[in-house]
A and B are shown apart, each in its own frame.
Chain A
Amino acid sequence: EAQVTQNPRYLITVTGKKLTVTCSQNMNHEYMSWYRQDPGLGLRQIYYSMNVEVTDKGDVPEGYKVSRKEKRNFPLILESPSPNQTSLYFCASSRGTPTGELFFGEGSRLTVL
């Protein structure tokens, strides 16, 4: 089954404790991206990757890091989480066509205390 898998789905952590949210896709997609979703703000792009070793900032990259060492994986790293990073996070992938048709994961709800 074609899918984008995120882990963990739910996480409560404390300020400053480094964490990684993993994302893996099994569709051989070139393009992957991370979004955060907050009430009233919709989906905002954090980082995206056009292919292995190629990443670029989205609209809200501050406080986040990413890496793309393999085509299927695109982890999101929070080096020193803060309460304003409490959010619902989505990973997405696509073949990289201009239509931007994205396949989304189920989401990871992160709470930073």
Chain B
Amino acid sequence: QKEVEQDPGPLSVPEGAIVSLNCTYSNSAFQYFMWYRQYSRKGPELLMYTYSSGNKEDGRFTAQVDKSSKYISLFIRDSQPSDSATYLCALTAGGTSYGKLTFGQGTILTVHP
């Protein structure tokens, strides 16, 4: 079993839709949860970061962590064509293990006008 599972999609939605992206994980040591966005032919860039369980909102983006279920989500409201990219979840235990960062497989999202 992979430590982090992410539905690769692809996911295609109309402009203005609410998008839900998800990851599940098996290692209960993970404490820090991140979402990266990767545009075509570019390196990933950090979108959201959360620590432990709870919600975090930044504009149209909301990151949600449920440690009891080992489940993390990224919601995009009022999606735009510029949101079309691959979204990757990334998890780390932090502390002395913060050097190891485990990524999900990535979900390809297309928002069409």
Contacts and interface: CB of A to CB of B under 8 A. Distances in A.
Given A100-B34, A104-B43, A40 B105 contact: yes
Contacts, number: 70
A96 B34 CA distance: 15
B104 A42 contact: yes
Interface residues of A, number: 28
Interface residues of B, number: 28
Contacts of B88: 42-43
A44 B32 CA distance: 17
Nearest to A90: B43
Contacts of A44: 103
Interface string B1-20: 00000101000000000000
A98 B101 contact: no
Contacts of B44: 43, 90, 102, 104
B7 to A, nearest CB: 12
Interface in A10-37: 31, 33, 35
A97 B92 CA distance: 11
Q: Which of B6, B32, B95 has the most CB of A within 10 A?
A: B32
Interface of A: 4, 31, 33, 35, 40-45, 48, 50, 56, 58-59, 90, 92, 96-102, 104-107
Given A42-B103, A42-B106, A48-B100, 17 more contacts: A31-B99, A35-B103, A40-B8, A40-B105, A42-B6, A42-B105, A50-B99, A56-B99, A58-B100, A90-B43, A98-B32, A98-B92, A99-B32, A100-B32, A100-B34, A101-B49, A106-B41
